Amino acid sequence: MIDYKVMEKAAEGNPQRLFFYNGGFWSQNGLRQVLVAAGYTLHVGVPAQTDAVVVWGHSPTALRGERMARAKGVPLIRVEDAFLRSIFPGRKGEAPLGVLIDDDAVHYDSSHPSALEQLLAHHPLDDSNLLQRARDGISRIQSLDLSKYNFHDPNVALPAPGYVLVIDQTKGDASIPYSGASAQSFQDMLGAAMEEHPGKRIVIKTHPEANLGLRQGHFGERDASALVTLLQDNVSPWGLLSGAIAVYTVSSQMGFEAILAGHRPRVFGQPFYAGWGLSADEVPVARRQRKLTKTQLFAAAMILAPVWFDPVRKCRCSFEDALHHLEARVRAFREDAPGYVATGMRLWKRRWLQKFYGQRRAIIFADPPGRAVDISGAKARPLLIWGHKPIAASKSVQHVEDGFLRSRGLGANLVPPLSLVKDDLGLYYDPSRESRLERMIQSPLPAGGKARAERLRAQIIAAGVSKYNLDASPLPPFAPGKCILVPGQVEDDASILLGTVQVCTNLELLKTVRAQNPQAVVVYKPHPDVEAGLRPGAIDPQLLQGLADHIAINADPIALIQACDEVWTMTSLLGFEALLRDKPVVCLGAPFYAGWGLTKDLGSVPTRRRFAPDGHPLPRPELASLIYATLIAYPRYFDPITRAPCPPESILYRLTEGKLSPQPLPLRLLAKLQGRLSTYAHLWR
């Protein structure tokens, strides 16, 4: 994987000066950032002999740069989008997550070899690690339903399987003439599809930009007939490929995806993926003689050739990390498509809920709950409600709570969250019913999921990050002997009210720990909200005598975990954080991480976590499955600097090395005031 510190340092070295004569390089800040991360700086004017000229592919405006490069005798650099770009096309103003940079040709120009073609022709493409990354990448983009553009709706109905798929492209696209094709090639392609599959249904897939009304395609209603259908819906490309019996293309990227989906497409141009033994080529490229696998093709086109960009770090990144970002953005785009109605939300939370879930359609906040239910039904929008509050509504209710990498500061102090969870089944801390998190923990890991979870775990441990990341006091030396950490909790917290039966208070917890471990050194850590006087759960110091050997006031929870031998808890998240660090955990309640064989469970844990409905034992998930579900698949993350959805790796970066936006002044003042009015905390929680 990429060493980011090395990459960031390299970008600060001696960047190549690029001169441009296309307004897009000036107006598109995201594109400029990608090029800066790749080691370039952009300039206007006349280049010197040590400079170069940059143009966008073979666009009409590229002629200006080409003339200047010839006149001054300087290199010409061509830039094009990589094959996973964004949600919307560049014409909608969205920046790319990756580009292809070539000082010779563009990948779609078959007149002479591009840098990508050189890779495909000459790179060994035999490294086992590279090929495994490619296999994982293919599996992952298919399972996530990702393509170059991603505004399609995976739920839109597809044609009944068994059709011949013909792929249209936009008129005037440079990839057509530069791949040795023309407008006539599209008519030839349709004719060949009809001739080679007599009597079969033919589906013509229009281009995404044509569906948005940005450009025109080569086919229209005039081409439709009893057997030929023009498909203009924004459907899943992978779903469409899965139902096809044959695929025809001129030079569309979807031909590349057809190869990845297991097809051997019939190709009427000379795109980068033609000529390697993976397609049936109407116009072969004589110089391309090497035979490749689809895994090797993917490795070169998606992993080795592009410059991928991390929009949070503002530096180059690996293919996988760019994919993390695209996954986070597309997930939010799809989940939030219908919009939401929210009820019972405190005023201070509404702004942040709007950022998390209301960027596509603004959330409608409505009270009382009955009115919100009516609006939710009338507008066919899911209903959001904070926490476990019961509400008489349809099955579209989704419960919202803080995520597990939350912030640098307490929620009770009105510090906004960096992550939230949204559960349509229940909530992770309510063991009385199944939650979406439980299902995720029991689901098979996706391709590359185990490695990603283990990498994230290692990064969290190295950074010393926890849920709140508060400033802490140094730990005093503890007495020798077995050391047990006992994290206190907020006693009216929902995880206590719902997740415990026998032991429900901090005092009872300490008594149980001492009774079962009379010789141990017991370290009690009060909850930060309780220490701040914001929530109930404090214990009279005299009652602690004989139960706790050390009271860890304002202590770093991660340092405490590392200093102790075991953690005993009711339902505290600190138990999960201890599991990340290979510490034994004993649970007296039923937190989300109990019952999977990873903890010693003394509380009442739901049998559904151990046994199927028929009574057969369920396979035990490994720690990586728990980590992946809890920190990657279940929460949504929002970067306050870029103001966009992001993956957990980005939030970890923000919590350790990056900056966070300051808490708004009204919330800072209210947080100070509530410390004086903690008795009335229910008014703002």
- Paired residues of 585 in beta bridges: 567
Number of H helices, E strands in the chain: 24, 26
124 CB neighbour count, 10 Å cutoff: 7
- Paired residues of 249 in beta bridges: 267
CA 473-475-478 angle, to 5 degrees, is 155
- pLDDT classification of 674: cutoffs 50, 70, 90: very low
Q: What is the pLDDT of residue 415?
A: 80
Mean pLDDT value across residues 627-653: 97
- pLDDT classification of 678: cutoffs 50, 70, 90: very low
Q: What is the pLDDT of residue 13?
A: 60
What is the distance between the alpha carbons of residues 423 and 430, in angstroms, rounded to a whole number? Answer: 11
Would you call 283 helix, strand, or coil by DSSP?
Answer: coil
pLDDT of 150 above 50: yes
Cβ–Cβ < 8 Å for 248, 164: yes
Report the CATH number of the 145-296 domain: 3.40.50
Amino acid letter for position 276: W
**Residue 645, CA atoms < 13 Å, CB-side half-sphere:** 27
Could you tell me which of 155, 139, 93 has the C-alpha nearest to residue 334? 155
Amino acid letter for position 398: Q
Report the CATH number of the 4-112 domain: 3.40.50
What is the distance between the alpha carbons of residues 638 and 619, in angstroms, rounded to a whole number? Answer: 34
Tokens of 412: 């009770």
Report the CATH number of the 445-634+649-656 domain: 3.40.50
Do 145-296 and 445-634+649-656 come out as alike in CATH topology?
yes
Q: What is the pLDDT of residue 680?
A: 46
CA 237-87-125 angle, to 5 degrees, is 65
Pairing of strands 419-423, 397-402: antiparallel
CA torsion 346-352-354-355 (nearest 10°) is 180
Kindly state the DSSP code that residue 304 receives in the 8-state scheme. Answer: I
CA 171-177-178 angle, to 5 degrees, is 130
Mean pLDDT value across residues 604-614: 93
What is the distance between the alpha carbons of residues 113 and 109, in angstroms, rounded to a whole number? Answer: 8
* pLDDT 10s digits, 74-115: 999 999 999 999 999 988 889 999 999 999 799 999 999 999
* pLDDT 10s digits, 657-668: 866 655 555 544
* pLDDT 10s digits, 170-202: 999 999 999 999 999 999 999 999 999 999 999
Q: What is the pLDDT of residue 412?
A: 54
What is the distance between the alpha carbons of residues 390 and 388, in angstroms, rounded to a whole number? Answer: 6
Tokens of 240: 């469409």
CA distances from residue 535 to 490, 528, 531, 674, 681 in whole angstroms, order as listed: 6, 9, 8, 11, 7
- pLDDT classification of 473: cutoffs 50, 70, 90: confident
Average pLDDT, the chain: 92
More confident residue, 327 or 477: 327
123 CB neighbour count, 10 Å cutoff: 15
Amino acid letter for position 295: T
The domain spans of the chain are 4-112, 145-296, 321-441+662-674, 445-634+649-656
- Paired residues of 41 in beta bridges: 17
Cβ–Cβ < 8 Å for 232, 206: yes
Residues 6 or more apart from 225 whose CB is under 8 A from it? none
Mean pLDDT value across residues 208-227: 94
Over pLDDT 90: what percentage of the chain? 82
DSSP-H helix ranges across 464-552: 494-499, 506-516, 528-531
Tokens of 90: 């560049």
What is the distance between the alpha carbons of residues 638 and 324, in angstroms, rounded to a whole number? Answer: 13
Q: Any idea which of 257-271, 321-335, 489-503 has the lowest mean pLDDT? A: 489-503
pLDDT of 685 above 50: no
- What's the whole-model pTM score? 0.92
Could you tell me which of 556, 591, 573 has the C-alpha nearest to residue 631? 573
